[in-house]
Structure 1
Amino acid sequence: MLDENLKTQLTAYLEKLRQPIELVASLDEGEKSRELGELLGEIAALSGQISLRTDGDDARKPSFAIVRVGAEDVAVRFAGIPLGHEFTSLVLALLQVGGHPSKAAPEVIEQVQALDGDYLFESYFSLSCQNCPDVVQALNLMSVLNPRIRHVAIDGALFQDEVEAREVMAVPSVFLNGELFDQGRMSLEQIVARLDVGAERRAAEQIAARDAFDVLVVGGGPGGAAAAVYSARKGIATGIVAERFGGQLLDTMGIENLIAVTHTEGPKLVSVLEQNVREYDVDVMNLQRVEQLLPSSEPGGLHELKLASGASLRSRTVVLATGARWRQMNVPGENQYRNKGVAYCPHCDGPLFKGKRVAVIGGGNSGVEAAIDLAGIVAHVTLVEFDSKLRADEVLQRKLRSLSNVSIVLNGQSTEVRGDGQRVTALVYTDRSSGDEHVLALEGIFVQIGLLPNTEWLKGTVALSDRGEIIVDERGQTSVPGVFAAGDATTVPYKQIVVAMGAGSTAALSAFDHLMRTSQVAPAPAETA
């Protein structure tokens, strides 16, 4: 199953194994079991530290456990064949069970090891989900670090009966001791914080004790990361506070228009951005939501940022790079059935709707691309567009119209999501031309109608446009002296990664210039790039 190039790379990784491991497979006579057995056999043949057994008795078939020889309580289990986005999860699990140390922060590792209690995690993933590996890898690591934590990662597409019984309609979905724990992307730090009582209080105390910054960046997306790097290179006190480092980029699939990068994916780019930021003396405060900005009352004074945790931060200048989020339909039933049929990521959740009927809301590029992708998985797709014509690129429209299991509704205004209390059963929309109401029976609704800036908390503090975007000039300056902004949350046109990066750099340079003119900050050497 693995090509020679991949085998060569994997062999090099497996040389890092410090302790022998055993692969214990639970198989039946099915085709997928045959494929899994073949994959595990190829892996075992690459290292003398790996042995394979096929007499496992797990009820889920195909599945397998990676077990440390001589320490059976150190183990990781997969139900399914972890290829696609999950192949990296498989490789990391092999290494970590085999004693290779994790790159997680030492303080987080200590938190995991100190957790008291017995935890059985079950996570459902799909091989096309770019959000799932973070969750799978975090839970795998936890099960390696703490013998009282167990985890099995389950391919929802292979265990449809289980998915149906547990009403899993979005991935990643995580169950803890049989009860739903959470859904969506979660980092190791987020999961541990949920389990570690007192973690939020300790973090707030540490944040509140920090000295004032010269530049404090709010937001950890491309714009925020660029602003942090450019500020830190000036040799001034720089901090970055983010609710989720990476922001919307974490939910982005293929990226092919970033200059000098032929192709990448959002999570991979986020990893590189964070590594770049941490190479400099930047105080990164992740998993922290800012709720209020209190501008300085005097030129050159300190701005204050109040966090949801109760802590406050002070800074001479601020760069707002809060990004945007998926726009919702805002109709009855949408929130009630979110992750119960209402979804926003076709790449992640599409495989869970195999053979079912779904709708895609939105006729722009993202909506049409979603409909095309889903058409190869589901029984039927109905694309509903509010306007009288689709707004996607013509090449995408031609592809969409060539698909036999796709219907297009124009002038359709979605008015209600209906369900049976557990899951979506229908979408109600009105024909804007005739005024007629239609009820579309289906099992899933994918909303693809654009983005909203994350700026509600700034109302009354900085000037916002009618669309809620932060109004900035060509230097990234907002209506408040010393407060700058960049990226998708601003009035800058073209919401693109490369544009946000440039705007973040501009805002940081403008913040430094402001400091030079209003406080005693020593000038840094001139930049050459």
Structure 2
Amino acid sequence: MLDATLKSQLQQYLGMLRQPIRLIASLDDSATGVEMRSLLDDIVSLSDKVTLDASGNDARKPSFVVARERETQGVRFAGLPLGHEFTSLVLALLWTGGHPPKVEADVIESIKALDGDFGFEVYMSLTCHNCPDVVQALSLMAIFNPKVKTVVIEGGAFQQEVTERDIMAVPMVFLNGKVFGSGRMTVEEIVAKLDTNSGDREAAKLNAKDPFDVLIVGGGPAGAAAAVYAARKGIRVGVAAERFGGQVNDTMAIENYISVLETDGPKFAAALEAQVRHYEVDIMNLQRADKIIPAEEPGGLVQVQMANGGVLQARSVILSTGARWRNVNVPGEQEYKNKGVAYCPHCDGPLFKGKRTAVIGGGNSGVEAAIDLAGIVQHVTLVEFADQLKADAVLVSKLKSLPNVTIHVNAQTTEITGADGKVNGLKYKDRATNEEHLVPLEGVFVQIGLVPNTEFLKGTVELSRFGEIVVDAKGHTNVPGVFAAGDCTTVPYKQIVIAAGEGAKAALSAFDHLIRQPVVAAASEAVTA
């Protein structure tokens, strides 16, 4: 089942097992069942701490449980956990075998403290780059809390379930039979959603923190670069972010970051966080800023009020809140979100295999999405508002060469239609003739650009008419001591490498600001060069 390279890598990982584990398999005669048996045999052959029990009789076949020796409960994988999920399988083996996870101790304690009966089912696809985060989070929870049961279901192997449950986006999580959430979620987010008192505790933790010399709001490439550059100055640095890595986590392929030939978003985001943690920066995840209160006097403290009620204080603040996918804002978009309306072709494309889809947007993202989908779905209709596609010429040429793609330019999307809770069509108007058209289909992928995450700054920091933070050449905003960098600013060309450079620049500007300000009594220790 596994090639020689994978076997060698897996054998090294299995050497880290600290205690015996068992694989309990419920198999059938299907092709997937045969492949699963081969996979399990390979795993067992690589470590004397792993045994196989093929007498399982679970209702979902083929499936297997990763459990501790003499136990029957653990993480169940229904279908083959390969592709992006092979790492999830390896981690489940290691964690079950006693190898410690790279997770903060307080997160593990929060998992152990959960009280109740939690039966999770998470549907994933092997090409989804957001799914592993959710799969690994729920696996970790099942391993460290016996009250949590997790089943990981590969949608391609259980198509009937996918159809019956109207699953049209992954990852999709059910808790005790009811929809719990969809899309990328971290273990901290899941635990916080289950623990209703966590918000108050987090707010208290934030309020108790000493003031920072530099506080960075947002943890994408700009925020990470700012944190590294500021921390290297030997000053007190904090990062408050909703999710570290930001929108990079939703990017499949990164092939234009200088010195990195090729990587994917989640790996790149993990590398950003690892480097920031190397400098002992205080990273505060799951934190959404709600308000900025400028310093009352030169050298005073800027306050950042968070959505949970906590308040952080700092001598300088760098805003790097990034941007999010822009909605097309037509009837049907919100109603059919995750019921045929999607934003990630890499994640959700496989769920539309053999079906008709549309892509709204003719820039690089839209054309790349259409090319990607064309290899999976029956037909792709690309709808672009302008009178020509805006993507790079090489991408446009590739798109036009595909036999199952139809392109409509000068076309205004007016509605996403549906019936019985699912998308069944897209309406657009020919802007030249005003003629209305209806395209019957099952899926719509929206790829029309970004919206800066700056709504909370209105009335405090100067914003452009597009909602971007207005900055000068050094990253200064109109508020003393407040700087900004990345996709949330007026700096053109929203690219990872540009955001990182702007983050570094903002950190240097913040440091220059600090050394020129008096240190008031409430501030932290004096800045050292």
TM-score range, shorter chain: over 0.9
- C-alpha distance in 2, partners of 1:15/1:488? 43
8 Å contact 1:516–1:522 — kept in the other structure?
A: no
8 Å contact 2:514–2:527 — kept in the other structure?
A: no
Which stretch shows the higher mean deviation, 459-468 or 52-61? 52-61
8 Å contact 1:346–1:374 — kept in the other structure?
A: yes
- C-alpha distance in 1, partners of 2:101/2:280? 23
Deviations 1:340-394 (A, max 9, x none): 1110000000111111111000111111111111111111111111111111122
8 Å contact 1:426–1:442 — kept in the other structure?
A: yes
8 Å contact 1:218–1:322 — kept in the other structure?
A: yes
Match of 2:87 in 1: 88
Match of 1:20 in 2: 20
Which stretch shows the higher mean deviation, 415-424 or 199-208? 415-424
SS in 1 for 2:152: strand
Shift of 1:218: 0.5
- C-alpha distance in 1, partners of 2:116/2:426? 43
Match of 2:358 in 1: 359
SS in 1 for 2:17: coil
- C-alpha distance in 2, partners of 1:155/1:357? 22
Match of 1:137 in 2: 136
Shift of 1:197: 2.5
Match of 1:281 in 2: 280
Whether 2:74 is the aligned partner of 1:67: answer: no
Match of 2:236 in 1: 237
Whether 2:11 is the aligned partner of 1:49: answer: no
Match of 2:465 in 1: 466
Shift of 1:444: 0.7
- C-alpha distance in 2, partners of 1:420/1:110? 45
Amino acid of the structure 1 residue aligned with 2:344:
C
Match of 1:99 in 2: 98
- C-alpha distance in 1, partners of 2:238/2:400? 49
Shift of 1:256: 1.1
SS in 2 for 1:171: coil
Shift of 1:166: 0.7
8 Å contact 2:475–2:506 — kept in the other structure?
A: yes
Sequence identity (%): 62
Residues 14-413 of structure 1 aligned to structure 2 (within 5 Å): 14-73=14-73, 75-413=74-412
Shift of 1:25: 2.1
8 Å contact 1:121–1:174 — kept in the other structure?
A: yes
Match of 1:449 in 2: 448
8 Å contact 1:296–1:303 — kept in the other structure?
A: yes
Shift of 1:252: 0.7
Shift of 1:112: 1.0
- C-alpha distance in 2, partners of 1:504/1:394? 31
Shift of 1:225: 0.9
Whether 2:5 is the aligned partner of 1:5: answer: yes
- C-alpha distance in 2, partners of 1:294/1:522? 22
Deviations 1:297-356 (A, max 9, x none): 332221111111111122111100010100110111111111111100000001111111
- C-alpha distance in 2, partners of 1:72/1:24? 8
Deviations 1:187-241 (A, max 9, x none): 0111111111211110101111222211110100010011111111112221111
8 Å contact 1:302–1:317 — kept in the other structure?
A: yes
Shift of 1:55: 3.0
8 Å contact 2:318–2:506 — kept in the other structure?
A: yes
Which stretch shows the higher mean deviation, 394-403 or 365-374? 394-403
SS in 2 for 1:348: helix
8 Å contact 1:130–1:348 — kept in the other structure?
A: yes
TM-score using structure 1 length:
0.97
- C-alpha distance in 2, partners of 1:248/1:103? 22
SS in 2 for 1:180: strand
Shift of 1:281: 3.1
After superposition, the Cα gap between the structure-2 partners of 1:144 and 1:13, relative to the gap in structure 1 and judged at 3 Å, is: same
8 Å contact 2:213–2:237 — kept in the other structure?
A: yes
Residues 478-493 of structure 1 aligned to structure 2 (within 5 Å): 478-493=477-492
Amino acid of the structure 1 residue aligned with 2:360:
I
Match of 1:514 in 2: 513
Deviations 1:77-124 (A, max 9, x none): 111111111000000011111121222111111111111111110000
Which stretch shows the higher mean deviation, 392-401 or 496-505? 392-401
- C-alpha distance in 2, partners of 1:279/1:512? 20
Shift of 1:249: 0.6
Deviations 1:271-313 (A, max 9, x none): 1111111122322111011111111233222111111111112
SS in 2 for 1:182: strand
Amino acid of the structure 2 residue aligned with 1:122:
E
8 Å contact 2:298–2:518 — kept in the other structure?
A: no
- C-alpha distance in 1, partners of 2:287/2:276? 17
- C-alpha distance in 1, partners of 2:417/2:389? 25
Amino acid of the structure 1 residue aligned with 2:429:
T
| Root mean square deviation of aligned Cα | 1.3
Shift of 1:421: 4.8
Deviations 1:379-415 (A, max 9, x none): 1111111111111122211221121211111111011
Deviations 1:126-155 (A, max 9, x none): 111110001000101111111111101011
- C-alpha distance in 1, partners of 2:79/2:518? 60
SS in 2 for 1:438: strand
8 Å contact 2:254–2:264 — kept in the other structure?
A: yes
Shift of 1:71: 2.5
Deviations 1:445-476 (A, max 9, x none): 00011111111111221222222111111111
- C-alpha distance in 2, partners of 1:102/1:508? 32
- C-alpha distance in 2, partners of 1:213/1:396? 46
- C-alpha distance in 2, partners of 1:50/1:3? 19
- C-alpha distance in 1, partners of 2:177/2:115? 18
- C-alpha distance in 2, partners of 1:154/1:269? 26
- C-alpha distance in 1, partners of 2:422/2:157? 21
SS in 2 for 1:72: coil
- Runs (5+) with no aligned partner, structure 2: 520-524
Which stretch shows the higher mean deviation, 494-503 or 171-180? 494-503
Aligned length: 524
Match of 2:522 in 1: none
- C-alpha distance in 1, partners of 2:138/2:157? 20
Amino acid of the structure 2 residue aligned with 1:173:
M
Amino acid of the structure 1 residue aligned with 2:440:
A
Match of 1:504 in 2: 503
- C-alpha distance in 2, partners of 1:157/1:356? 14
